[in-house]
Amino acid sequence: MNRIQTRLEEKSKILSVYFTAGYPALADTAPIIRELEACGVDMIEIGLPFSDPLADGPTIQESSTVALKGGMTSKKLFEQLKDIRVDVGIPLIIMGYFNPILQYGVEAFCQSCAEVGIDGLIIPDLPLEIYERDYRSIFESYGLFNIFLITPQTSEERIRQIDAASKGFIYMVSSASTTGAKTSFGEAEQSYFKRVEAMKLRMPLIAGFGISNKATFNDATAHTRGAIIGSAFIKHLTSCGTGHIADFIKQIR
């Protein structure tokens, strides 16, 4: 069974953390993963840096720029993750744009993911129809879950299409803006969370974008199975380096 599915069958709320591979320094990827698991994080999204990250806010964009300048590539990431499953058991997901995956070769990328123990992919610019027509069989042959995103603007019909096609969970983007930390959610976000929760979807929901602290984590997980923290964690790495990850996680739950 896929590790994502196994973890979602547990009852507690999921804390997932996103960080950019190769940031703050090229060699930091695997140590950050190990430290996050040691701190009790339930799932990790490893950002594959890209030169034109349209959905990302300035914090993640800057981390991608630094990682790329430092030498991070898809090939380098798989080299860094080669032995990660020796001592890391939680689900690992690669989040990135489709262009680097195409350049690597879609099947070759999926094979490399399977070889190092990646459980799923989040590719914001890969449309559902293209995935189902051209790539679903490849992803599934390597045991990878492809995670789709919904936003406040996604229609109910489209949400149900995504729900029917999904495995693992649905990534519930909290707002229509790019990624970035917020200190609280307003009435619009709360209404959106409640509206989608009331649809009683087949797939669990995990919220992302704008979750930065205990308050926003609790707000998001009141209506979902879990929440993803990205920009706030990267800001912490920028300010404090990799030596104080436990301090950050303790502030969330």
- Give catalytic residue positions: 45, 56
Contact 228, 91 (CB under 8 A): no
Q: How far apart are CA 62 and CA 56, in angstroms?
A: 10
Beta bridge partners of 43: 16
Contact 98, 110 (CB under 8 A): no
User: Residue 204: which of 91, 101, 96 has the closest Cα?
Assistant: 91
Q: How far apart are CA 192 and CA 52, in angstroms?
A: 29
3 state SS of 182: coil
Contact 108, 134 (CB under 8 A): no
3 state SS of 230: coil
Q: Look up residue 175 and give its amino acid.
A: S
The conformation of residue 112, written as its DSSP 8-state character, comes to: H
3 state SS of 44: strand
Give kind and range of the element (H or E) at residue 102: helix 98-104
How would you list the strands of the sheet with 205-208, edge to edge? Answer: 145-147, 120-122, 92-95, 43-47, 14-20, 226-229, 205-208, 170-173, 149-150
